[in-house]
A and B are shown apart, each in its own frame.
Chain A
Amino acid sequence: MTEEVRLIIVGFGVVARSLAGSLEARGEEFRRTRGIDFHLVAAVDSKSAAIDRNGLDVRELLRRKEETGRVGRRHLPATEIIEDTEADILVELTPANPLDAEPGMTHLKSAIKASKHVVTANKMPLAHEYPSLMASAESRGVQVRYSACVGAGLPILDFGDACAVSEPLLKVEGVLNATSNFVLSRMESDSSSFPEALEEAKKLGYAESNPWLDVDGVDSAAKIVIIANHTLKKSLTLKDVAIVEGIRRISPSRVKALREEGKKVRMVASVERRPEVRVLELPGGDPLSIDGACNVVKFHCKYSGERVVSGPAAGGVTTSSAVMRDLLRVGASIEGS
């Protein structure tokens, strides 16, 4: 028995295109092995929308986006599509806006109000209003899944859940911004200055043209809010995080002096009581002193001590794999209902 699961994708950047490609390529596999038949019934980008109740032709959609920069011919408001299109899951992939989390916030609220499940890779709505969004989702009986918001494809939240099964978690700390970590590693490996290393990160596609979200610590702050709420059951928002210091002012001479002492400087987000983001000088053997465009998170468990998850955490493809993970989980629960 296959269950039809209808999706709306809002936001059609790198992650969405990678996801749509996978849905197309692996659709048959999911039908056969999971009994889930994904139909993309609407796709919305900032300029246009495409809707088809019977399922859009994904190959055609990707081709049009490639050629015209638009998914559709007409502009339609995303909220209207989210509320009025018959669908099971909203996949929210608009860019992170740290100031008011829009337009993602409105999309999430519209979906929850319209009793649709949500899978999102946009961390800002959750960072701004996690407690109230989750409460309203619960009251509507819908799921909100967001594993792609943290660690790109690295299953940090699942790892944290597993740690918490048998004992309380006392503290979480981690390197959560792959771009900044790449920049710092580069400064260590070839003595480049911050601007030079940042330029390198931009060339390789790790950093945005305006990287303040990454290097000034805001992205890490949003992620620690989500991790703390999810695994430590806190009720935090971005406003609660003290962003003490980003990596902009780290000089090559400081990096060099630390290297001679066998130490590394890393931007670490942590939460025990109060969440904060700051630059720490770590001994070389510390698991948090990871190199490259990676994330690492240390969960401090009450009885078993420190548990660490780490790995590469950048790029649209890895992020879309986390979205897919969430979609399959929601899909499986719909099938059972």
Chain B
Amino acid sequence: MKVVMKFGGSLLASPGGIPRVSRVISKASKKMRVVVVISALDDVTDLLLHAATNARTWDSTQVIHFIDRIRGIHSQPLTEMELRQATYNEAVDHLEELLDDLKLTLSGVSILRELTPRSNDLLLSFGERLSLVVVSAGLRKAGIAIEALTGGDAGIVTDDSFGEASLEVTKTRRGVKEKLLPLLTKGVVPVVAGFIARSESGEMTTLGRGGSDYTATLLADAIAADEVWIWTDVDGILTADPRIVKSARVIEELSYAEAEEMGFFGAKNMHPLALAPARKAGIPVRIRNGFKPDRLGTLINPRERKSSAIAKSVALVGNVGIVTVSGETLVGRPGTAAKIFELLGKAGVNVLMISQSVSESNISAVVRKGSLERAASALSEGLSRVGISAGVKVEPDVSVLAVVGAGMQGTPGIAAKVFSAVAATGVNVRMIAQGSSELNISFVVASRDSEKAVKALHESVVLGK
């Protein structure tokens, strides 16, 4: 059996995190062939993003101070692991070499006062590369035969559109196979820095929002792995946010489609992009808790198994608002909805949900609260410019509830059941939408009612009480 295991940053950076991860890998590598993918240590990606935004205005001192913060995050676990002196020295040398490169990159940005997409990719790549140094040292100490590889070393090839590089699928499949399979045959565990790749011209590129999870699934696809295990610091994908719903529990099994719906609605799990290679190759993905390695977690696989319950989860997306365009001039005027989408798109506003009344006299869109004002002004200015006189209204304090599950597919009366569960709590539903896949029903309620509604829905449609 071949398994690609990805370890998340919060797990790696937790106290005793790397020894814990080493035990998991050591145990697994005795029974199966393992490929390890690692993320950047906890906050490092955020720090690098912060640097990417700010380094233009930094002076030497600020660059040096930033480097020292990054050094601290990585040297602490190195010190705590009590490595042999030679291993420690080697790791520190390697770390300092990378920090030197990082300093050069940031100094370049601060001198030129400009961050090109290419330097941005290079900058962001340091998180996983630094993590690789620290994690590799820990795995070697645990007696695991490893080979440390960046994404490029492992054979992952992209085009060179920096910032949004696309995978060269065929070349990557071939490259990864050529690099990793011989290692696995020799009983060596390849340890691959996630998120990063290399362009054909040899430049550092990044894999975008799919991140390290994407690295794991695309490696799995290339080596025809049996499973992908995503090790994180939670028990798996849950039926609801446990901070709101006490009876929330782990979902044992999900289909790719269900997982993607949940990912889209911001549940703490995989980005839909990251799931795609596994889905296409039909490779099951497990979300597991590194703190409790005896638990099985959540299995995401091709089967759409309907459970007795109607839905598998209820997600709550807070911090959203509704912007509504209304007026008689909208009635019977083709292309208005398209115009609205276009205006919002140009203003960089992402639309989560949309609904239009049958009378066509109003159209509402749900957007993130942070972009609500931008959405409203883009619409009122943009529509009047093309001669559509319409009122634009915003409602800031609303939340989206998303009920997800294959059990809703082709089952009549589901919407009614979901509604009556909400109605029984006396909560007023402001908007509703069901995806054409019938895998989810989403609706909008006032934020003050949202937790009550989540609890009620979880009881009735997830637990089936």
Contacts and interface: CB of A to CB of B under 8 A. Distances in A.
A117 B32 CA distance: 74
A242 B59 CA distance: 9
Which 10 pairs of residues, A with B, have the shortest CB-CB distance? Answer: A243-B60, A212-B68, A239-B59, A216-B64, A98-B61, A218-B61, A218-B64, A238-B61, A249-B100, A99-B65
A94 interface: no
Interface in B216-260: none
Contacts, number: 40
B96 A216 contact: no
A104 interface: no
B133 to A, nearest CB: 16
B61 A221 contact: yes
B96 A243 contact: no
B239 to A, nearest CB: 45
A193 B92 CA distance: 12
A195 interface: yes
Nearest to A217: B64
A249 B60 CA distance: 17
Interface residues of B, number: 14
A248 interface: yes
A298 B67 CA distance: 31
Interface string A228-246: 0000000000110111001
Contacts of B61: 98-99, 218, 221, 238-239, 243
B62 interface: yes
A221 B60 contact: yes
B460 to A, nearest CB: 54
Given A99-B65, A216-B68, A193 B96 contact: no
A211 to B, nearest CB: 9
Given A218-B61, A238-B61, A239-B59, 19 more contacts: A98-B65, A99-B62, A193-B89, A212-B68, A212-B71, A217-B60, A218-B60, A218-B64, A218-B65, A238-B59, A238-B60, A239-B60, A241-B60, A242-B60, A243-B60, A243-B61, A243-B64, A248-B96, A249-B100
Nearest to A128: B61
A333 interface: no
Interface in A241-293: 241-243, 246, 248-249
Contacts of A54: none
A239 B100 CA distance: 20
A335 B163 CA distance: 67
Interface centre among B59, B61, B65 (most CB of A within 10 A): B61
Nearest to A218: B61
A239 B60 CA distance: 7
Contacts of A217: 60, 64
Nearest to B69: A212
Interface string A206-227: 0000101000111001000000
Interface string B80-92: 0000000001001
A15 B95 CA distance: 35
A241 B60 CA distance: 7
B68 A210 contact: yes
A248 B59 CA distance: 19
Interface string B40-63: 000000000000000000011110
B83 to A, nearest CB: 13
A320 B64 CA distance: 29
Interface in A116-135: none
Nearest to B65: A99
17 contacts: A210-B72, A212-B64, A212-B65, A212-B71, A216-B64, A217-B64, A218-B60, A218-B64, A218-B65, A221-B60, A238-B59, A238-B60, A239-B59, A243-B60, A243-B61, A243-B64, A248-B96
A218 B59 CA distance: 11
A213 to B, nearest CB: 9
Contacts of B59: 238-239
Nearest to B88: A195
B355 to A, nearest CB: 49
Interface centre among B59, B60, B67, B96 (most CB of A within 10 A): B60
A294 B206 CA distance: 47
Nearest to A277: B60
A307 B207 CA distance: 58
Nearest to B58: A239
B199 to A, nearest CB: 28
Interface in B192-217: none
A238 B61 CA distance: 8
B365 to A, nearest CB: 42
Contacts of A193: 89
A213 B59 CA distance: 14
Nearest to A240: B59
Contacts of A195: 89, 92
A243 B59 CA distance: 9
A249 B96 contact: yes
Contacts of A249: 96, 100
Contacts of A241: 60
A14 B183 CA distance: 57
B68 to A, nearest CB: 4
A324 to B, nearest CB: 30
Nearest to B99: A248
Nearest to B64: A216
Contacts of B72: 210
Nearest to B100: A249
A212 B61 CA distance: 10
Nearest to B97: A249
